[in-house]
Amino acid sequence: MTIGWTKKDIRDQSGKVAIVTGGNSGIGYETSLALAENYATVILAVRNMNKGHEAADKIKSEFPNADVHVLKLDLNDLGSVKEFSEEFKMKFRSLSLLINNAGVMMPPKRETKDGFESQFGINYLGHFALTGLLLDLIVKTPDSRVISLGSLAAHNLKPEFGKFIGKKGKTSQMKNYGQSKLACVYFAKELQYRFRSRNIDSKSIACHPGIAQTYLFGKGSRSLKTRLTRASLKIIGQSAESAAYPILYAATESSIRGGEYIGPDGRKGIKGSPTELELLDQQFVDHVSNNLWILSEKLSGVTYKF
Ligand SMILES: NC(=O)c1ccc[n+]([C@@H]2O[C@H](COP(=O)([O-])OP(=O)(O)OC[C@H]3O[C@@H](n4cnc5c(N)ncnc54)[C@H](OP(=O)(O)O)[C@@H]3O)[C@@H](O)[C@H]2O)c1
């Protein structure tokens, strides 16, 4: 455990190449900013190129020597995930950090381009496909890490992945969100198991940011309910910068072994300094994670070649 860890503790990231999905906004932006400040090459993987370039310009205005790139990635579309991975491989020869951060929470009910429940498709399956398509680069890069984003909303949930994977499920959007985030955490653990059992040096780590008032809550909505929710989150939660610390800790700390679940150490995990949580071990069911993996390969059409 590290007491009071902040981004000032990040060691020099020179030579590291990092992809941050959703790096244009909120927690992903703060993660990208801190990695760029510490000399990593950072690729903002974004669905909206204008927003991506605005974020890159903002980072460069703070750190003029920052090495920041913007590439198009729409996790709502597995075709875009494939195109992103091909473009990335044409431009870069290594991948030290894959930060699977992008996400949506409780959007209106809809399906992804490939027909999956949107939170499952964007938060989980798109990232599953992305990681599989970049696996060759990840595996050949020394001390590479894949970071997956969980959430307090996934804590104490039983895995019921089969129920919400299908089209037009009847489950609530909050439940779908929690299950999609639980799937990300299961993926992180299973990926680490697969790395370790093949003696691969790469590491897979899950983390959750606690609660931070970002655009995740009520994106685009100006309703009174959304404004009240966002105002109360500002009071109880932490800044997007602090919420990025679990990711930055998982990505850069030399003590990381792989397989950890990192989150804030404060009351109820809402805010605080990043620390290793035991929760993941208590919740984890081996055969479920293996089944989810097999299903995900089938649904995404991406087979992991270790
Ligand atoms: N904020 C919290 O309290 C909290 C708590 C638990 C977990 N998390 C997790 O933290 C992560 C970051 O969320 P945030 O709070 O920083 O929210 P945010 O500010 O809304 O950022 C979400 C990012 O994901 C991107 N994104 C959404 N759909 C995408 C798609 N189809 N393809 C590519 N990118 C897409 C968004 O792009 P656009 O800007 O173009 O929309 C944005 O860059 C999410 O995984 C979320 O589940 C957040």
Over 80: is that where the pLDDT of 166 sits? no
Report the C-alpha gap between 272 and 284 in whole angstroms: 24
To the nearest 10°, report the CA torsion of 101, 39, 144, 11.
-100
Question: Which tens digits make up the pLDDT trace of 254-295?
Answer: 999 999 999 999 999 999 999 999 876 777 777 899 999 999
- Cβ(27) – ligand 1 distance below 6 Å: yes
Beta bridge partners of 147: 99, 205
Report the C-alpha gap between 284 and 159 in whole angstroms: 9
- Cβ(89) – ligand 1 distance below 6 Å: no
Report the C-alpha gap between 214 and 203 in whole angstroms: 28
Over 50: is that where the pLDDT of 186 sits? yes
Residue 43 pLDDT:
98
Per-domain residue ranges for the chain?
A: 13-300
Whether 187 and 148 have beta carbons less than 8 Å apart is answered as: yes
Report the C-alpha gap between 275 and 193 in whole angstroms: 21
Task: Name the catalytic one among 177, 193, 249, 261.
Answer: 177
- Average pLDDT for 199-207: 97
Paired tokens of 19? 């992809």
Report the C-alpha gap between 225 and 72 in whole angstroms: 33
* Mutation pick for ligand 1 pocket among 214, 221, 271 (CB with most ligand atoms within 8 Å): 214
Amino acid at 69: H
* Mutation pick for ligand 1 pocket among 21, 44, 47, 98 (CB with most ligand atoms within 8 Å): 47
- Cβ(263) – ligand 1 distance below 6 Å: no
| Residue 177 known to be catalytic | yes
Paired tokens of 160? 């019921």
Over 70: is that where the pLDDT of 3 sits? no
| Close Cβ partners of 235 (under 8 Å, ≥ 6 residues apart) | none
Strands (E), the chain: 17-21, 41-46, 67-72, 97-100, 145-149, 203-207, 261-264, 274-276
Beta bridge partners of 238: 212
CA of 23 from ligand 1 middle (Å) equals 9
Mean model confidence pLDDT for the chain:
92
CA of 22 from ligand 1 middle (Å) equals 6
Per-residue confidence band for 213, with pLDDT thresholds at 50, 70 and 90: confident
- Cβ(212) – ligand 1 distance below 6 Å: yes
Tell the residue nearest (CA) to atom 46 of ligand 1.
103
What percent of the chain is modeled with pLDDT above 70?
94
- Cβ(103) – ligand 1 distance below 6 Å: yes
Tell the residue nearest (CA) to atom 43 of ligand 1.
22
Strands (E), 151-259: 203-207
CA of 225 from ligand 1 middle (Å) equals 20
Question: Which tens digits make up the pLDDT trace of 117-154?
Answer: 999 999 999 999 999 999 999 999 999 999 999 999 99
What percent of the chain is modeled with pLDDT above 90?
78
Tell the residue nearest (CA) to atom 20 of ligand 1.
216
Angle CA(135)–CA(27)–CA(104) in degrees, nearest 5?
75
Fill in the DSSP letter of residue 46: E
Taking the domain 13-300, which CATH number applies? 3.40.50.720
Per-residue confidence band for 1, with pLDDT thresholds at 50, 70 and 90: very low
